[in-house]
């Protein structure tokens, strides 16, 4: 199971995301910071889309380009962490549904297919914003990945188990909404 999560994490870290402005409630309390900085990593159902948001930060390093790149990388890693949990839940739910309907697919088979999918060349999630705290010099970055993009990559993969792909397409929104509630 950990291998599946790792593979999904790699695959989805490289997946292209769609950008969009989202309203996020703030609770960290940094004055003057955008709401996304104060709220941090989360999943949102906003404007008809379901988005995975990851927030990363980097302290001053003496090289602004390196500092931005570090914050961006950490934001993408946060998206990947949340995606890996989503994929773990989706894979578990698929196994349960398949087992009850007589369309049992082996865990090793799906694991190999996800592993094969992760080796394809896919672009990364999108950095949709940055903010520098003038007081501390810390740069914050926010990365976004749309659930629609995740489904498209799984659907487009010729190696992916067709049953898992259909399952993710039909029930992915419900799994997303359930996870969103659990994160609150």
pLDDT computed for residue 162 by the predictor: 76
Q: Does the pTM exceed 0.75?
A: no
What integer best gives the mean pLDDT of the chain?
A: 74
More confident of the two residues 100 and 147: 147
Residue 42: domain span: 2-176
pLDDT computed for residue 182 by the predictor: 84
More confident of the two residues 123 and 154: 154
Is 181 domain-assigned?
no
The position carrying tokens 């994490």 is 9
- DSSP one-letter string for 120-168: S--PPPEEEEEEE-TTT--EEEEEEEEHHHHHHHHHH-SSS-HHHHHHH
Is 18 domain-assigned?
yes
Q: Is the pLDDT of residue 139 over 70?
A: yes
Is 103 domain-assigned?
yes
How large a percentage of the chain has pLDDT more than 70? 67
Q: End-to-end distance of the chain based on CA atoms, in angstroms?
A: 25
Distances (CA, A) of 54 to 17, 71, 146, 165: 12, 10, 12, 25
Euclidean distance between CA atoms 179 and 164, whole angstroms: 19
Among the ranges given (95-99, 118-122, 166-170), the one the predictor scored with the smallest mean pLDDT: 118-122
Is 182 domain-assigned?
no
For residue 59, how many other CB atoms are within 10 A of its CB?
11
Reported as a single tens digit per residue, the pLDDT across 13-71 is 334 343 344 444 445 578 889 999 999 988 888 877 889 899 999 999 999 999 999 99
Backbone conformation region of residue 62, classed left if phi is above 0, alpha if psi is from -120 to 50, else beta = left
Domain count, the chain: 1
More confident of the two residues 104 and 79: 79
Is the separation of the CB atoms in 74 and 53 below 8 Å?
Answer: no
Is 33 domain-assigned?
yes
Reported as a single tens digit per residue, the pLDDT across 88-114 is 787 778 777 766 554 555 555 665 555
Backbone conformation region of residue 137, classed left if phi is above 0, alpha if psi is from -120 to 50, else beta = left
pLDDT computed for residue 68 by the predictor: 96
Euclidean distance between CA atoms 184 and 182, whole angstroms: 6
């Amino acid at each position: 199971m950990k291998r599946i999560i790792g593979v999904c994490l790699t695959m989805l870290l490289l997946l292209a995301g769609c950008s969009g402005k989202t309203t996020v409630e703030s609770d960290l309390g940094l004055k003057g910071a955008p709401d996304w900085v104060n709220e941090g990593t989360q999943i949102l159902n906003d404007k008809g889309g379901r988005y995975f948001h990851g927030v990363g930060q980097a302290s001053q390093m003496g090289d602004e380009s390196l500092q931005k790149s570090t914050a961006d990388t950490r934001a993408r890693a946060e998206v990947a962490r949340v995606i890996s949990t989503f994929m773990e839940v989706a894979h578990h739910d698929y196994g349960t549904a398949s087992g009850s309907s007589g369309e049992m697919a082996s865990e090793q088979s799906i694991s190999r297919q996800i592993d094969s999918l992760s080796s394809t060349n896919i672009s990364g999630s999108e950095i949709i914003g940055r903010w520098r705290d003038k007081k501390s010099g810390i740069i914050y970055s926010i990365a976004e990945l749309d659930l629609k993009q995740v489904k498209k990559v799984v659907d487009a993969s010729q190696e992916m188990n067709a049953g898992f792909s259909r399952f993710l397409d039909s029930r992915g929104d419900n799994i997303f909404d359930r996870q969103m509630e659990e994160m609150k």
